[in-house]
Structure 1
Amino acid sequence: MRRTTTALLPALALVSSLALAGCGGGGDDTSKTSASPSSSSSTPAAPETNPMTGLDVPDGGSAIEKHPVLVVKMDNTYASAPQLGLGSADLVVEELVEGGLTRLAAFYYSTLPGKTGPVRSMRASDIGIVSPVKADVVTSGAAGVTIRRIQGAGITFFGEGSKGFARDSSRSAPYNLFTDLRQTATLTKAPKERPADYLPWGSADDLPGGVPARTIAATFSGGHTTDWTFQGGKYVNTNSNAAENDRLNPDTVLVLRVQVGDAGYLDPAGNPVPETKLVGKGQAMLFHGGRLVRGTWSKADLDSPIELSTKAGPLTVPAGHTWIELVPASGGNVTYRK
């Protein structure tokens, strides 16, 4: 045993010397290798972005909120004035309803206001509007046929009688239903993952040149017109029903020309209820920075995101607040001036 141990000593010494030589001779390479993880770990991660605006989440926060995207169906007639909570919305979609009037689908994710409304009823049109981000809907209710279709699409909604809802006695029905959105949000289930981007977000630098367009008039079937003027880098709705200090002045107005069909029932006044078909494709008009870029929108199915393009390729929407006008391709009209 003693002889075996003695015989191993030179071999062990040789291995040790080779190991030491390897460490000494490769010193520069080892230094370079160890520097790589250090430099990569010091590179800050890209900030997460709000799926409803494309803007960076402040202070390195997470883009996954404790609640899903909430969409409040809001009245948009003079009887609703002043609308409350609209200024806190991330994004707004304006859609045609019966009688040639429009209603708003106001999207809330980054900020939840208190008293919000007036809250009105859902339409089948809302399926294609809210499904891409798996939003929950805050509503006064809906016709039975609409509720069945909304439920069939797997959309969660909260109606009158739910937490946060109350009638304002100083207003006339049906324009007096409001909700404290922060309270209603406590009824929701927290999302497990970040919602998908509602629009293909990008930068203003990515936009084609377009043409000057500082005023916009979006006319829906039936005669209602929403007017916009580009002022101070934002678009101002000059015939808004919102409270003066509670308006959403978007960075971008995106007009999508859409097909409109018949929802298959009448409202209480006997008017046919229209259904906006937010699926397929159509003309798009993107207003940003006082200019207009024309393109095409497409949406493969009701829960698919909206895609935009020009003849040159994909078109993105500059990150920020966006107001989407779903103007009927037939019976509607969009005009603008320099």
Structure 2
Amino acid sequence: MNLGKIALVATSVLLLTACAAGPNGQPNASNSASPSPSPTPTPVYVTAPLTGVVYQEGVDDTSFTAKPSVACKIDNSYAARPQLGLNSTDIVFDEMVEGGLTRLVAIWHSQQPTEVGPVRSIRPMDPDIISPFGGIVCYSGGQYAFVQMMQKAPVFNASETTEQGKGTFSRTSSRPAPHNVIVNAQKLASQHTDLPAPAPQFTYATDLNSSTAAVSGTEVAKSFTVNFPQASAQWAPSTYKFKWLRTQDGEIHKDAATGKQVAASNVVVMEVKIDRSYADRKYGNVPKTVMVSTGKVWVFSAGKYVIGTWSKASATAPIVLTDAEGAVIKLAPGNTWVELKPSGAEGKISIK
């Protein structure tokens, strides 16, 4: 190679070195290793107040957390079954009414279907049941005294009369009256965004196996039954004991919305006193479940049960469940049914 070519190669090397280096001979920043990736955002989790189920923001739909709950009086007579939307509920109360039959107070929050029902009239214990949830109560009429009691509660009252023209209440032709009043819970909640979301009502474990019944409870071999004077609710564990499956008055209880059997993660059986002072000339005695009180409770989760005490300090206070040692009973995450079993001869519980 001649001297001219050697000089040319040397010059080229020096130029490349200069381009690749910064001041003081340090590597040029523009040619260093590729920039570090942005840090992964820390996941944000929210817990559904009425089920204890945990959701991740940005992955799950958590819009319900800003919505009010919708509580409805649901008919539980033979002509009303199967009802719409019971498997979408967060919490359901099964209460005794006149004649020893039962009706339901069903609360929707984490899911709010466009059709729930059939909706029926209010009863004297309903203000004490519904007040802790705030939000909205929907019903179809009721005795004047009971409606007044409900209107004094800290909830928005939505009745078939007051909701006319709002698209929230309707009467379906597929069911005979008076078992045909259907409510659009989703639309009802969307029209009252000024109302706050409900506060937690029970204490929940982090998972099914951590629930109090799962940890220290007694196994349910076959099923348990809660008997009212003219109604019965039987619950049997599902195959893997994740849920309890409901039978009403000897027939499988189904949700008309899905065709599936009604199921619950937890069943709470509260032994309650009955106030007999509410008499009506036309309808006779209207029993009132005494909710602001205390009594015995059976709590069923994960195929097992524990016995303890329930208490409720005021109309607006939540129900507190404690075990024999006074520790708070933790439910499994998921939906809950509360069977309000009358004390004495009117109500019985049998566990097999």
- 1:209-254 Cα shifts (integer Å, max 9, x gaps): 221114010112x231111111132111123253262554111111
Alignment match, 1:185: 189
Evaluate the alpha carbon distance shift between residue 206 and residue 169 of structure 1 in structure 2; reply closer, same or farther with a 3 A threshold: closer
> In 2, are the aligned partners of 1:78 and 1:241 still within 8 Å (CA)?
no
1:271 Cα deviation (Å)?
2.9
CA 1:284–1:53 in 2, change beyond 3 Å: closer, same or farther? same
CA contact (8 A) 2:219 2:305 kept: yes
SS in 1 for 2:264: coil
Residue number among 314, 335, 340 corresponding to 1:301 in the alignment: 314
Is 1:170 aligned to residue 178 of structure 2?
Answer: no
1: CA distance, partners of 2:74 / 2:218: 33
Aligned-pair CA distance for 1:82: 2.2
Q: How does 1:1-338 map to 2 (within 5 A)?
A: 44=42, 47-59=45-57, 62=62, 65-161=65-161, 162=163, 163=166, 164-192=168-196, 194-203=197-206, 204-207=209-212, 208-213=215-220, 214-220=222-228, 222-232=229-239, 233-239=242-248, 240=253, 242-243=255-256, 245-262=259-276, 264-266=278-280, 268=282, 270-312=283-325, 313-330=327-344, 331-337=346-352
Residue type at the aligned position of 2:324: K
Aligned partner of residue 68 in structure 1, secondary structure: coil
- Cα 1:306–1:111, aligned 2, differ >3 Å: closer, same or farther? same
* Matched residues, number: 294
SS of match in other structure, 1:202: coil
Q: Which runs of 4+ in 1 moved over 4 A?
A: 60-64
Q: In 1, are the aligned partners of 2:302 and 2:332 still within 8 Å (CA)?
A: no
Task: Give how far 1:288 is off.
Answer: 1.1
Given that 1:89 and 1:248 are in contact with CA atoms closer than 8 Å, whether structure 2 keeps it comes out as no
Contact 2:298-2:307 within 8 A present in 1 as well: yes
How far apart are residue 183 of structure 1 and its match? 2.4
Instruction: Give distance in 2, aligned partners of 1:64 and 1:80.
Output: 28
Shift of 1:305: 1.0
Change beyond 3 A, Cα 1:153–1:230:
same
Runs of 5+ unmatched residues, structure 1: 1-40
**Distance change (3 Å), C-alpha of 1:206 and 1:160:** closer
Q: CA deviation at 1:57?
A: 2.6
Separation of aligned partners in 2, 1:115 and 1:64: 17
- Separation (CA, whole Å) in 2 of partners of 1:130 and 1:90: 13
TM-score, structure 1 as length reference? 0.80
Partner of 1:4: none
* 8 A contact 2:118–2:179 mirrored in 1: yes
C-alpha contact 1:252 1:322 (8 A) present in aligned 2: yes
Q: Once superposed, what is the RMSD of the aligned Cα atoms?
A: 2.2
Q: Distance in 2 between matches of 1:267 and 1:63?
A: 47
Residues 65 and 190 in structure 1, CA contact (< 8 A), matched pair in contact too: no
Q: Which TM-score applies when normalising by structure 2?
A: 0.77
Give the secondary structure class of the aligned counterpart of 2:150.
Answer: helix
Structure-2 separation of matches of 1:70 and 1:267:
32
Q: Secondary structure at the match of 1:115?
A: coil
Distance 1:62 1:231, change over 3 A: closer
Cα 1:46–1:283 shift into 2, 3 Å: farther
Q: Secondary structure at the match of 1:196?
A: coil
Aligned letter for 2:140?
S
Task: Call closer, same or farther: CA 1:206–1:227 in 2, change over 3 Å.
Answer: closer
Question: How big is each residue's C-alpha offset from its partner over 1:41-91, in whole Å with a ceiling of 9 and x where there is no partner?
Answer: 989466221111011134356576443110111101110022112121112
CA distance in 1, matches of 2:41, 2:95: 44
Distance 2:180 2:211 in 1: 43
CA distance in 2, matches of 1:267, 1:252: 39
CA distance 1:182–1:64, shift in 2 (3 Å): closer
Q: 1:99, 1:271 within 8 Å by CA — same for their partners in 2?
A: no
Query: Any gaps of 5 or more consecutive residues in structure 2?
Result: 1-38
Return the index of the structure with the highest Cα Rg: 2
Aligned-partner residue type, residue 233 of structure 2: T
Query: How much does 1:106 deviate?
Result: 1.0
Paired residue for 2:5?
A: none
